[in-house]
Structure formats: structure tokens, C-alpha cells
Structure 1
Amino acid sequence: MEKEQELEWTKAQNIAIGVDLVAAAKQQLQFLAAVDRNRHLYEGPALVRAIYRYNACWLPLLAKHSESQLSEGPLVVPLDCEWIWHCHRLNPVQYKTDCEELYGKILDNSNVVSSVQGSCKSKTEEIWNSLYQDEPYNLNLQNALSEDMSERISRLDKCTKYDLVSAVKRQSPFFYQVSAPHMNHDLFLEGAVSRYKGFLHLIKSNKEKSIRRFCVPTYDIDLIWHTHQLHPVSYCKDLHELLGKVLEHDDMDADRTKGKKLDTGFSGTTKQWEDTFGNRYWRAGAMYRGSAPSPLTTTPYQSNIMSKDVVAFPDHQKVLELPEVKFVEVLLEFLEVRNLPEGHKGILFASFSKTQQDIFFNAKRRLSIFSEYGEKQVASFQCEPTGELLFELMSYSPSYLPMKRAYKPLGSSSFSLQDCLLPPSKLYVEKWLEMVPSSSNGNLKPIYMRVAMSFTVPAIAQRTLHMVRSRPVSKSSCFFPFHGNNQDAKSLKHVIDETGRELIRLQMRDPEKEKAKGNSVPRKEVVGITKSGKICTLAEFVGTGWSLMNSNWSLHREKNSKDGYPFLLKGKKMVKFFPGRKLDYELKDCEKHTTEDKTEQDFMTLVEFSAKDPYGKAVALLHLKSGCIKIKEESITVPGIILAFILSDKLKKEKYNGFSVNATEMGSVEEEIDENPEEVEGTNLNSSGASEVALKIEVVEGDVLMSQKGGGCGGACGSGCGTATRSAGSAGCGSGCGGGCRNREKSSGCGSGCGGGCGGELGNSVKSGGCGGCGGGCGGSGGCGGGCGTILKSGGCGGCGGSGGCGGGCGTILKSGGCGGCGGSGGCGILFKGNGYGAKSAQEITSGNSCAEDLPKAVVV
């Protein structure tokens, strides 16, 4: 920061607030989670009844308690009344007015305990029952009276005129935006409090300068702002001292369309913040997440019908050696460059990558520099919180000679992720990096590039495991040797992790087949063969269902499920299998426009129901066609793999084409390089990123594949294979049905349907090809891209991923050329324009979750 900007930030941090906002924010998140478990309060009879109880019972009781304490301890507010009180206080001006008109003063929350915090409610319940004999203290929300409560409300002597139904409707979606685990972390909340003070400082500055601006917060700031308002006396006092009035909280606008009030307000707030304080307004984990997923049921799960807990079976908990992996979300922006060589005339851009292998991010991406183009472009991605980020400054000079090298490396620098994540981390860094000059740079002065980065707190990562068919084992194979001579290797399935490391092998033993071979097998079962060669029975077919892991779990087929789930897993937890991608795996709005419904039949979402999550929590996603399973909860890892194997076997017999990928197609990069050294020498991938082969990012259901691998795009969870030597070839695209591996000279083999093939027959370093044709495309059903491209023109990326999109057109180093389609795993988007709270263009596009018109004009290679 400049000295003046540092002074402004210091002034902001000196703003006095009479509440411990970090502790109070945690309590608010706990309360919002409790309300979300009781969604009857969002609408319908329970909501109307709660509003009546709030006006008829809670406010009068609170008023009496504020005049003369009714009990020795604090009052404990009932959950339904607290929810209405919560929404009322989030209009602080209206709440102050209503309280003063009805009760002569602001009714505060001091000496009141939340329904989720109060351990002793008996005294409050006793007082309540003495005052309101006809209204129970604890309301059964599911059985709330359906009678017309509006008439009873109208007869009340004291009742707020504020439209509380509309207030609840506006506040109901808020919890989804702040429900990610990092929001509840002290380090993240402490930074949010500091940013909230900065937000108030901007508003004060506007007032002093008579500037009318609609200031829009990011969600971390908004969470703290809500927290402050929930303490009405302190909020009024603090804001009167700061602004001379109570600051209104306008939550009436929800239109995020570009150019509307919310969008323009956010853009204006962003510019003012960055001009005033000198740091970036956006923050990782604080931007708009999109609309909440559709609920699976309107009837909450009842904990009293849950199957009894069973004793864990430790031998099976250790079947897989799957080490814990963490991830962070990162937002990155390149701001400006100093000390360029004299006479420099090229177009500047910068690339970023990881210096070591990363499960989530192992690609090189390019991003424009703000000072060069005047357009804010922010890269959003996930990576492991280890190693270093490598930044390379490049110069590009247009040339009409396709074989002439147009890139010039100017310098590089690295940044340790641990430096920003270890205490006393602020989860944000903005600094000038000295770029180590490349050998071709004759500049005597060191070049500096200003970089801004924001991180979330490291969290446990979702894991992606693949199930593949057996293959012959070569000497250089990364798969361990198979132990035993009596097993049929062709019937084995290998379970591998993201790096290609094998975890276990599975085999289905069928008694009928074994009898034909002369073997005696008492029942159908699934056996696992561990890395040490140990064979263990993981599941047995018993009666009409499967018993898993020594009867710790049982799988049943549900033929008449009212909620539409065909399978039910019961044991330590209750897990239902829903067809398609549900809850956290649900496609974003723009993806739904370009993805055909028929692709949903390839997926099953495993949803856990419990007292904590009565409406369900997605714990895993199974892609039946490719044999891929994404797992969020460690406890479901082993049963999830077993079930994926069982369901694939069952559906295959029902003529479903499961496990279309075999182990040969999933071969590791290391193996291929060892066996083809002459191809490695022929591919020029140097450290500066000035490659003669255009690198290509493939995005599969939110997982960024290695840039060295061209395969794996499409509806499948990572099919096909490609290597560093085959980066021009995007083989294996299209839900796992897109052909085998292609060499450096040919990049076809993409997609299915008529017109497939990425780049036709000339997909080498000169012509990287257009991805897909009419009906083909990478990953499913469409994409009218096509056309060959050169190193300068990336061609039309067509419908690369999911169900299409009309890309097409040739691109340059500044334009990726119509990279259409946001369906499925497609899109080439890694950027957003920064309107994080207000506009679609602010949505994170890491997993292709942005419509084509939202993509900024920048290089994506």
C-alpha cells in the first residue's frame, strides 16, 4: 500500500464496535444451520404461526424482561420466534421504529440466549406457560396449525406492520452462501471483521463527500454486517457515533443482471475499495456461490427411525490406504509490471502453474495484466496447500508466419503457499515479485510484477477414485504385482486414485460360474485384494440384499420409493442413492441450458440423511459409465467403492454399458514417457512455457486434469488418456467413448456422434485443431465448433465438455476463439471479471460453470 492508503486502512481499523463479532458470527452460523434443519419456517403455516407467536408472545415477554428481569438467568428464545426476530432485526431502521412505537424503546438481545445456545430452557418455559396457557413454548413445526392466523394477528393490540413473510423469503437463501466450512474459521472471520470496518469506512467517506453510492458487500463482509445488526442497541450506538444515523441494510435487490443496481453497485464498491485501501476487494471463499441446489424432499428425515449404530469393523476401515489430502481455493490477479526492457513492443501476459505435482491443479494457465488492458480478470482455482506457485512473465509479438516463435519469456518468480497459510497469515497477499530474467532477456534492471492472491483456510478435499478393468502388467507399470494364481485376472477391477496409484483390486465371485468351473462358492460375494496381497470378503449377497463389511452395512433396492431413490444403504448411517447429480453436485443454472437430461442417467448421488442433515447431505457422486466415484466423506470411502462395483455389475447385466474405461486407457503418464523417449525429445515444453505445442486444459466435473494429459474430457469422470508427448491429441473425450490415445501428429479421437474428432488429422504443433463438430464435441452431444487452429489461433473449441455449446471461430493469443459450451465438464473458463457479488460474470468458472457470454477475453491455454 501507499502511505495514504495505509493511513486510510488504519483509520478504518480504529472504528469502535461494541460486540465480539467473531464469536457472535459463529453463533449466527450455528443458528442459521438449525433453521435450515427446520425448513417449515421458510414458508407455509409454520411461518405464519411463528410470526403470530413472535408478535403475541415473544416481543411482549422480551419487553417485560427488559423492564424487570423475570428470571435469574437469561431468557431462551424459542427457535421459531428467534427466526422471525432474526429477520426483523436485519432491517435495523424498521426494527428500531417498530420497537419504539410499540414498546417505547429498542428491545435488545442482551440477557437473551439463542435457542441453539441455551442449555437450560426450563425457567423460560415456565414463565412462558404462565403467561400464554394456550400457546406452547415448543412449537411442533411440522404439525403447525393450518388455520388462518392472519385474523388472529390482526386482532393483536401490538403488532409490527413490517412484512415479515417477505423478510423471511429474502433471508432464507443467505445460509447457503455462508455455509462453507471456512466461513466458521477464526482466521477467516477475523479478516472478515477487518474488511467490515473497511466497508463502513467507505460509507462514512461517501457521506462526508456527499457521494451517493450503493455499496455492496462480499459475503464475508455481509455475514459480519448481519452479526452486528443482530445486536440492535450496540448497532444503533456504533453507527450513530460513526455516521450520525443508523445505517440501513437494503436487502430488497436480488437481480444480479449485468448493469442492474446490484452489479453496478458492486463494481463501484470494488473500485472505491481498491483506490482507497490499495488492496483487492475480492476474497477467496467470499464470492457468490450461485443459487442453492434443489431440495430432494420436503419431508425431513426423522432420527427416531434411524437404524441402530453398529460397532466399527477396524479391519475393513484399513482396507484402503488413502492419505488425507487438503485443498485451498485461490483467487489470483496480476496487477502491473515495472522496469520493462527498453523498446519493448510485445503484448504482455503472465502464466501461473505449480512447481510440483498437484492433484487438483497441474496445468499452466495464462492471464492478462490489469495495467496493460484495464480490464479486471481474476483466476479462480483449487490446489493443494503445499509447494510453490510459479509465475512467468511473457511477451507476445503477432506474426503471420505460423512456424515463427512469437513468445518471448521475460522472467519468472515463485511464491511459497505455506508462507501465506502459516500464522500469522491473513489469507491474503499483495506484493511486488522480482522476476528472475530468462537467458534471452538482456535487460540490466530487474523486472517486477505486482501480484494479488487470496486463499481460503485449508480443508479436507474431496477424492476422486477410478475403477478400471485389468490389463497386462509391464515392467514399468505403476500397478503392483498381482498375488495369487487362482483368480481370474480378467474379472478384476483396479481402484486407483487421482495420481494413478492403485489402492485395491475387486472381484465379484458368482456361485453359478464357480460351480461350472468345479469350485465351491457358498454365495455371491465381493472380495478385495489389498496391496500386500491379502484377500478379504467385503460384501455378501444375503436374501434380497447385500451385506457389506461384516454386516456393518446393508444395501437394499427400493422399488416404490416416494422420493425416487432406487437404492438404500443402512448401517452406521442412512444413505440413499438418487439418480442424477443432486445437491452439491447439481449442475449450475447455465450448465442446465446446454446439458441434455439423458446424461443424468449415468450418475448417482449418494445422500446421507441424519438428525444433523434431515434434508440430506451429498457424500459421494458415482459415474456408472466410467467407474468413477467422487467421495466427500471419509467414512463412505470403502462402502462407496464396494457399492460402485456392485451396482456396475448389476446394471451391466441389465444391458447398461458400465465401466467403459480399461486400465490400458488409464495408463500413467510416467509409464508412457519411459516407453517412448523419442517422442519426449520431439516435444518442446520448456520452463518458460514457450511451447511449440499449445497446451490445453481439460476440466472434468470441476477437476482440472494435468496439462500433460489430453484425455478425460466429457461426461465421464476422466476417461481416455494422453501424455506430455500427446498434448495435441485429446483422445478419450466424450463420456469415455472417444477413442484411444493419439500421437503428437494426430489429435482426433474426440467425442462421439457425427462430426467428432478434435482437430482432425492435423492436430500437431502447427495446427491444434478445433474441438468437435456437429453432434460430436468433447464430452457428449454437440458443440458446433471445429476448424483448424495454429499456435496463434486455437481454433473453435466447440462443445468441449457436456452437451455442447456453439463455440467455433479462430482465436488468437488474446482471444481463445469461441470456447462455447458450459455444460458438463466443458468450457475453457478459468476467469471471472470480478463482479463477485452481483453479476453472473463473477461466478467461479473453474469447472466450466459459466455461460459463454460471461467469459472475459483472455488467453486460456
Structure 2
Amino acid sequence: MEVEQEFEWNEAQKIEINVDLVAAAKRHLQFLAAVDRNRCLYDGPALERAIYRYNACWLPLLSKHSASQIPEGPLVVPFECEWVWHCHRLNPVQYKSDCEALYGRVLDNSNIFSSVQGTCQRHTEEIWNRLFPEEPYNFNLTRAFPENVSEKLSGSEKYTRYDLVSAVKRQSPFFYQVSRPHMNNDLFLEGAVARYKGFLHLIKRNKEKSIRRFCVPTYDIDLIWHTHQLHPVSYGKDLNEVLGKVLEHDDMDSDRTKGKKLDTGFSGTTKQWEETFGRRYWRAGAMYRGSTPSPVTTTPCLSYMIGKEVDASNEFQKIIQLPQRKVVEVLLEIVGVRNLPEGHKGSLCVSFCKRQPDAIFNASRNLSILSESGKKQVCSFECEPTGELLFELISHSTSNLPIKRAPKVLGSTSLSLQDFLAPVSELSVEKWLELLPSSGAVISKPISLRVSVSFTIPSPAPHLLHMICSRPFLKSSCLFPLPGMFRHTKSLAHVIDETGVEVLSLQMRDSSQDKAGENCIHRKEVIGIMASGETRTLAEFVGTGWSLMDSHWSLQFQKKSSDDGHIFELAGNRTIKFFPGRKLAYEPKYCEKHRSEHNFMTAVEFSMEDPYGKAVALFNLKSGIFKVLEEWMVVPGIIATFILTDIFKKGGYDGFAVNCEDMGTDSPTEIIKGFGEEGKSANLTTSIASEVELNEDIAKGNGATAENGSLSSGGCGGACGSGCGNALKSGGCGGCGAGCGSGCGNMVKSGGCGGCGAGCGGGCGNMVKSSGCGGCGSSGCGGCGGGCGGCGAKFAYENKPGNSCADEHSKETKEVFISEALAV
């Protein structure tokens, strides 16, 4: 069987494609990123005008250019026309039909340069302006368009009948699914091209056997498929060679509901792929990420970016030393077992962990074996790309005796991550691993496990820090015996890294200074105590805000309600706004905006690359967890968090401050053991002062109590949140602990959400006949439901790292259980 499967895979790789798809995919991603920075082209007047210009100007110009036997030179397609042309070509059958009906032939992209390639546009602009003097080549996306372009277009002699507005809306969410850095990696893209050929081979086999099946791609395959379609002549020629026709790209369906077209199509594709090629269809980094996060603003913040350059030499960035780690996303499945002892009885499972636990993954998890249980169980987790994965085959007694026998370990084996990831050589492997017997006995045929594992390209791991408050100092103590200064009896805030090492301590200090016999000047400062014992002034209150790190940064407070909802702003050589709740990359994917959102604050950077904002850090003001994605944000982020915490205390919210004495220890490093614990949610109201009251209160040391801008909600408590959502014949949400969030969502004949721990979150989405979400712990269910493929598809076991309801600071693995009914 394995020989036949290898033969099929080799046959698939013989498919010839007359496009360098790796290089083209990189250009494709670059263009999609540029469009995402100009989201007015997703809908509205700018899009309507772009469609008019595409029909009235670009297609006629392209036709004239391609018909010329001696072309005047390469053309550079205008940016807005390129976006409409892009979406039109992604329906290759309709594009071919429209081109042939209007121009007698398919208009290709040969000798055409993208608007984002940096090629000189002067030659194209001269031709354009000569042909269309009333419609200038350069198009201002932000200008008003008073005329009705729809009527103007309908009066045109030549315009496409394809609904381009709807086509654009369907393609707009695609970039989010393929925007992670590993998608732009050569090795990842080479694997995607190979899998695309396998995808075409399956369709070819179906055609030969007269099997009608709606084949649904994963997102790596879909990226390559889209890229191929953007070369219409080559795509038509290549697909006619393989299938005898132009393959249609059906993106009309987006319903990922169980039993619908996408769901059944993806299930069937997965089953056929794994039977045909003997390798897993899922791939780390290629699965559905959930819906596109809600934007924090609908207007690009361009004014913040003019003339600001990053100063990487800031000495303050080096005041703390943090370990530099890499992280990979891993998908793991135990496919089969062979050479079991004769007469073996009992159910089998495989326990796996890292032989040497790392700072990101330090758990042990169990997986069923597909060939034994008939149930596909895939585990998604993150870890450092070092060391070994250790597997143990465990047998559980199935007898009905009242006294159950203890599980028996039949043998163990391991898989070295460094063999694949240091340096990166392969991103997926499926192989038989021989087990070393636990008894040490030598047997003729060692038991073997067939293990399938897939990785993403290693990337910098986010820094995870914990800020905790120790017991207050005695009134008689004097940490800063400096002349003319005094200190209230306050606790220190200790900053601990993920290994439990204290890297910095902070203290808010009030001081007075006698200025030439005049009245004392009241000052407020943040003092940093380094690991070496050195002390430095990291911030001071000046007038209406805070100056950080010798004026390299300033922290300002909103004096009135902002249009985008941010409440603080950190400005320096970058612009960062603080928004209440979890936003963008941290937005909960698989649960409602449940009642712990008031504990969180997201730092969002605005730049030329991300005019709509990019989340760079998340603060859990209740637990003191600080997760930061960028190195440059660590120090200013820590200081800002400390200042904001002090402000919130004055507003009556002191959930952040954990006192070591209350926890029964004097050592802040011991509290690091609770890193994954968000704790019980209380009914708290966070009040943020408005206008100048906030600033005056800080200056005077008073509590801020204004109601404007308050963030208020109830806590999850110990209840199951809003219920277990359509849980039919389910074990329900027993033991949801500190908040199951929005329930266990559409769990039919499932084991339920028993023991969800500190936040099962949005439930286990569309888990049918599954073993449920038992024991999710604090990492949450992660959202087992979802879809896949740019054309949409069900992939019930995908989880976006970092976005389960309670895993903002969890290092637990994210386990997801898959229904055998999906046949995948």
C-alpha cells in the first residue's frame, strides 16, 4: 500500500506548471499586503470607481497592448485596477468568458508589472493619458466621487457582466489567512507547490473515475492555486494538459456549517488525500485562523507616521536581559501501531511530551491512535524548535473487574526536532518509529508507531512577563535614602520572566524638591531597580502626562472620548495606542466578548506598514501578565503597564496587585508557578477618569472617580457563562471552573466540556460524536470549529495559537478532538 501511495505522489509531482509559483506567490503576498493597507478598495465609492476604471480604461489598454505585434514596452497596471483585475482572474472560467466576449481572446498578464514592484510608471502613464485624457492615470483613493459610476459604467460599450463588487468582498478576507510570516518562506512555499500538484492530481483521478467531488484546499494550497490563476494563459494551458479543461475556482460558498458543501467537500478531500498519498492533509500554519479580527479603526492613521524613524540604539532597551527564543507551531497525529504483542488486550493511547520541557511547552498530553480507535485526534501546540518529542505507548485494561489495573507502558520512542528545524530541512514528516521496550527485553519485532508531525518555520517567540507586588516595606525602612526626598510605604512591583527569573523591580515614588527656598515642587517618578541592584529613574510625571526613558517616550491620556476608542497613547519613534479589551491578534476567536474583557488592554502600533494597527502587546491587568510580541516594546511596555496599573488603582480597580504575603510566600519567584492561572473573575468596575480630572488627580495623589470612559462588566464567576449552546446528548459543561465563556457550542453526542478549568471560552465548535473538551485546563478549548481554504472548508481541529479564551498567558498545549464522522 505504501509503495502505491508513493507512486501516486511521484506521479502528482510530474505535473508541469509553466510559472515559477514560489516567486509569483511572494509577489502575490506583497500585493495583498498593499491592498490591505488601502481598505477603501474593499467596498464603497473607491471600489466602484476602481471597477469603472478597470472596465473603461485598463482592459481596453491591456487589449491594445497585447494585440500589438511590437509592443511599446511593459505596462504597469494602476494599483486600484490591479486589485479589481486580481479578483476577476480568480474566477478563471468567468474571466475567460468575459475576455473572449469583449475582446476575442484571454487577456494575459505577460509583459505586465505589478504596481507594487517599484517599476517606473512613466511610460504607462503617457500611453494611458493619451488614450483616456479625461481619466488620469494616477488615482486618488481618498477623493470624493460625486458622479454615479454605476450608471456611467452601464452606459459603456464594453464592461464585464461578472459581479466584481461581490467578487472583491469574497476575496477581501483572504489576506488575513495567509499573512503570517512563514507563508513567505521559500521552504514553506516549495512544500505548498508540491501539495498543489497533489491537489490537482486528486481532481484528475476523480475525473478519470467519473467521481463528482467538491475538492477543498488548505490555505497553503489555495495561495498557490490563486497565484497560478493570476497567470490566465499559463493557467489555462497547464490545466488543459492535466484535466482537459480550465479548472473552475468556486469561491461562492462560505458556509462552514456541518453537513454543508464546504464541510463535506473538505472531509472528502482529506479522506481521499490520505488514502491516495499516505500522508496527512493538514499542515501546520496552513489551516483556518478564524474570522478576520474586528478592526480598531476604520480610518488609516497616516498622520502618526510622518517623519518617524526607529531608533534602535536606545540604551534603555538593554536595561533588562531577556532570553531570545524561537517558537514553532506543531500539529501532531498518531496514525498507526504495528507488531503489538500476541494476545494483547486493552485500549491503547500515546502519551507525549518534550524530553526536556522548554519555557513554552512543558506539558504531557495523550493522543489516541487512528488505526486503533477509528477516531482522528490531532494535537496543536507551540514549543521551542529544540530537543526531542518523547512518546510512550500506554495500554489501559478493559476488564470489568472492580479493581482496575494500572496503565502499562509498552515502550517509548522519540523524535528529534533539531533534525528538522536546526537548521530547517523539512517542515513535515510521517514515519514509523520503533519503540524501546519498557522492560528492556529484546524482542524480534519491536512495536512501532506511525507518527505524523508538521511544523511552521521557527519565528521569534513573544516575551511573557509577570508583574507582581510584594509585601509593603516597613515604615521604618528606607530604600532610597536620598536628601530632600521621601517615599510613601508602597510595595515593589517585581517583573518576572517566563523562567521565574526576576529581571526588574519598579516603584512609584512621590518626591518633593525645595527650589531656592520656595514651596516644595511635588513630583511623581517611576524608579527601576535592576537585577544588579542599580537604580534608575525610568519615568516622571510632567504636566499632563508621563515622560518615559529620558523623554524617548511619552504616555498621554485621552482628555475626551476618542473616535477609535483608545484611552492611552504611547508616543516616541513609534505610535502605540492602548485599547480596552483584547483586540486584533488577541481578539477571542471562538467565544463571545465575555465578561473578563475589562481585565485586558491591548497595545496597538500604527505605522506605514500597518495603518489600521498591529497588536504588539497584551496586558492582563488582573493577573499582571504582560505578553509582548516585539523586542522594542518590552521596556516601555513594562513601564507603561506599571503606570496604568497605578492609575487603575486610583479608579478603584486593584485586581492586578497580588501581594506575596497574601499568597503565603515572600518570594515573587514562587508566584511564577501560577503563570497560567487567570484566577476567578470578580464583579469589578474599572473607572478611568476623563478630561483633566485624571491628570490633576495623579498630580495630587487623589483617586480618579469620573464615570466617563468607564469599562464595566460582570465576571464569569464559577458559572458556565451563557450555557453550553445546543449541547445535545452531551455531557454538558460540568466543572467549567472560572468561566466557560459562551458555552460549548453545538456539541452533539459529545463528551461535553467537563473540567474546562479556568476558561473553556468559546466552546468546542461543531464537535460531532467527539470525545469533547475534557480537561482543557487554562488554555481553553481554543475553538475546535472553523473552516479552511480560501474557498472555505471545514477543518474542525484547527486552533489559532494565542487566541483561545484564556491562553493569553498559558503555556499549555491546545488539544482538539476530531470527529470520526468527518472522515478526516
TMscore range, shorter length: 0.7 to 0.9
**What's the counterpart of residue 567 of structure 2?**
566
Q: 5 Å matches for 1:725-744?
A: 734=681
1:657 shift after superposition: 1.2
**What's the counterpart of residue 643 of structure 2?**
646
Cα deviations by residue, 1:550-599 (Å, 9 ceiling, x for unpaired): 111111111321111111111111111111111111111x311xx53x42
1:62 shift after superposition: 0.8
1:179 shift after superposition: 0.4
**What's the counterpart of residue 170 of structure 2?**
170
1:492 shift after superposition: 1.2
**What's the counterpart of residue 452 of structure 1?**
452
Whichever residue aligns with residue 798 of structure 2, its letter is: Q
Maintained 8 Å contact 2:773/2:816: no
- CA distance, structure 1, for counterparts of residue 253 and residue 193 of structure 2: 24
1:615 aligns with 2:612: yes
Q: Say which SS state the counterpart of residue 66 (structure 2) adopts.
A: helix
Q: How many residues align?
A: 747
Q: 5 Å matches for 1:435-474?
A: 435-439=435-439, 445-470=445-470
1:633 shift after superposition: 1.2
1:838 aligns with 2:798: no
**What's the counterpart of residue 430 of structure 1?**
430
**What's the counterpart of residue 525 of structure 2?**
525
**What's the counterpart of residue 587 of structure 1?**
588
| Structure 2: gaps (5+ residues) | 685-714, 721-731, 745-750, 807-813
Percent identity of the aligned residues? 63
Maintained 8 Å contact 2:773/2:817: no
Distance change >3 Å, CA 135–CA 69, structure 1 → 2: farther
Cα deviations by residue, 1:177-225 (Å, 9 ceiling, x for unpaired): 0001100000100000010011111111111111111111100000000
Distance change >3 Å, CA 667–CA 238, structure 1 → 2: farther
Moved more, 29-38 or 550-559: 550-559
1:275 shift after superposition: 1.2
Distance change >3 Å, CA 402–CA 356, structure 1 → 2: farther
Maintained 8 Å contact 1:806/1:821: no
**What's the counterpart of residue 330 of structure 2?**
330
Q: Say which SS state the counterpart of residue 105 (structure 2) adopts.
A: coil
- CA distance, structure 2, for counterparts of residue 492 and residue 533 of structure 1: 14
Distance change >3 Å, CA 666–CA 805, structure 1 → 2: farther
**What's the counterpart of residue 695 of structure 2?**
none
- CA distance, structure 2, for counterparts of residue 508 and residue 151 of structure 1: 64
1:315 shift after superposition: 2.0
Q: Say which SS state the counterpart of residue 23 (structure 2) adopts.
A: helix
Query: Equivalent of 1:778, from 738, 741, 746?
Result: 738
Q: Say which SS state the counterpart of residue 116 (structure 1) adopts.
A: coil
Moved more, 306-315 or 847-856: 847-856
Maintained 8 Å contact 1:500/1:668: no
Maintained 8 Å contact 1:799/1:805: no
1:783 shift after superposition: 8.5
Q: Say which SS state the counterpart of residue 525 (structure 1) adopts.
A: strand
**What's the counterpart of residue 370 of structure 2?**
370
Distance change >3 Å, CA 251–CA 381, structure 1 → 2: same
Cα deviations by residue, 1:32-75 (Å, 9 ceiling, x for unpaired): 00000000101111111000000000001111111227875421
Distance change >3 Å, CA 546–CA 53, structure 1 → 2: same
1:239 shift after superposition: 0.9
1:100 shift after superposition: 1.3
**What's the counterpart of residue 500 of structure 1?**
500
TM-score between both structures, scaled by the size of structure 2: 0.83
- CA distance, structure 2, for counterparts of residue 95 and residue 503 of structure 1: 59
Cα deviations by residue, 1:762-812 (Å, 9 ceiling, x for unpaired): xxxxxxxx9986xx823588989xxxxxxxxx99745523387899xxxxx
Maintained 8 Å contact 2:335/2:451: yes
**What's the counterpart of residue 479 of structure 1?**
none
Q: 5 Å matches for 1:591-670?
A: 591-592=591-592, 596=594, 598-663=595-660, 665=663
**What's the counterpart of residue 107 of structure 2?**
107
Q: Say which SS state the counterpart of residue 841 (structure 1) adopts.
A: coil
Maintained 8 Å contact 1:840/1:854: no
Maintained 8 Å contact 1:772/1:783: no
Q: Say which SS state the counterpart of residue 651 (structure 1) adopts.
A: helix
Whichever residue aligns with residue 106 of structure 1, its letter is: V
Distance change >3 Å, CA 385–CA 411, structure 1 → 2: same
Q: Say which SS state the counterpart of residue 588 (structure 2) adopts.
A: coil
Whichever residue aligns with residue 573 of structure 1, its letter is: R
- CA distance, structure 2, for counterparts of residue 829 and residue 163 of structure 1: 36
Q: Say which SS state the counterpart of residue 390 (structure 1) adopts.
A: strand
- CA distance, structure 1, for counterparts of residue 171 and residue 506 of structure 2: 48
Whichever residue aligns with residue 136 of structure 1, its letter is: P
Distance change >3 Å, CA 806–CA 253, structure 1 → 2: closer
1:361 shift after superposition: 1.1
**What's the counterpart of residue 790 of structure 1?**
none
1:332 shift after superposition: 0.5
- CA distance, structure 2, for counterparts of residue 554 and residue 279 of structure 1: 54
Moved more, 149-158 or 483-492: 483-492
Maintained 8 Å contact 2:378/2:797: no
1:484 shift after superposition: 7.5
TM-score between both structures, scaled by the size of structure 1: 0.80
Cα deviations by residue, 1:804-826 (Å, 9 ceiling, x for unpaired): 7899xxxxxx997774999xx55
Report the RMSD for the aligned CA atoms in angstroms. Answer: 3.7
1:217 aligns with 2:203: no
- CA distance, structure 2, for counterparts of residue 200 and residue 815 of structure 1: 31
Whichever residue aligns with residue 562 of structure 1, its letter is: D
**What's the counterpart of residue 46 of structure 1?**
46
**What's the counterpart of residue 240 of structure 2?**
240
Q: Say which SS state the counterpart of residue 648 (structure 2) adopts.
A: helix
Moved more, 363-372 or 322-331: 322-331
Q: 5 Å matches for 1:98-137?
A: 98-137=98-137
- CA distance, structure 2, for counterparts of residue 242 and residue 806 of structure 1: 43
- CA distance, structure 2, for counterparts of residue 649 and residue 24 of structure 1: 51
Q: 5 Å matches for 1:351-430?
A: 351-398=351-398, 404-422=404-422, 425-430=425-430
Whichever residue aligns with residue 506 of structure 1, its letter is: L
Whichever residue aligns with residue 581 of structure 2, its letter is: G
Whichever residue aligns with residue 36 of structure 2, its letter is: D
Cα deviations by residue, 1:362-398 (Å, 9 ceiling, x for unpaired): 1000010000111211111111101111111000114
Q: 5 Å matches for 1:216-365?
A: 216-303=216-303, 306=306, 308-309=308-309, 311=311, 314-365=314-365
Maintained 8 Å contact 1:380/1:831: no
Maintained 8 Å contact 2:785/2:798: yes
**What's the counterpart of residue 576 of structure 1?**
577
- CA distance, structure 2, for counterparts of residue 510 and residue 400 of structure 1: 70
Maintained 8 Å contact 1:553/1:571: yes
1:489 shift after superposition: 8.7
- CA distance, structure 1, for counterparts of residue 659 and residue 576 of structure 2: 29
1:426 shift after superposition: 2.6
**What's the counterpart of residue 811 of structure 1?**
none
- CA distance, structure 2, for counterparts of residue 414 and residue 301 of structure 1: 50
Q: Say which SS state the counterpart of residue 366 (structure 1) adopts.
A: strand
- CA distance, structure 2, for counterparts of residue 586 and residue 344 of structure 1: 48
Q: 5 Å matches for 1:71-82?
A: 72-82=72-82
**What's the counterpart of residue 743 of structure 1?**
none
- CA distance, structure 2, for counterparts of residue 853 and residue 413 of structure 1: 21
1:420 shift after superposition: 1.7
1:658 shift after superposition: 3.8
Distance change >3 Å, CA 308–CA 178, structure 1 → 2: closer
- CA distance, structure 2, for counterparts of residue 125 and residue 18 of structure 1: 30
1:251 shift after superposition: 0.7
- CA distance, structure 2, for counterparts of residue 845 and residue 399 of structure 1: 39
Cα deviations by residue, 1:684-743 (Å, 9 ceiling, x for unpaired): xxxxxxxxxxxxxxxxxxxxx99xx6x4556x3xxxxxxxxxxxxxxx555799xxxxxx
- CA distance, structure 1, for counterparts of residue 743 and residue 81 of structure 2: 52
- CA distance, structure 2, for counterparts of residue 626 and residue 37 of structure 1: 35
1:304 shift after superposition: 6.5
- CA distance, structure 1, for counterparts of residue 12 and residue 243 of structure 2: 13
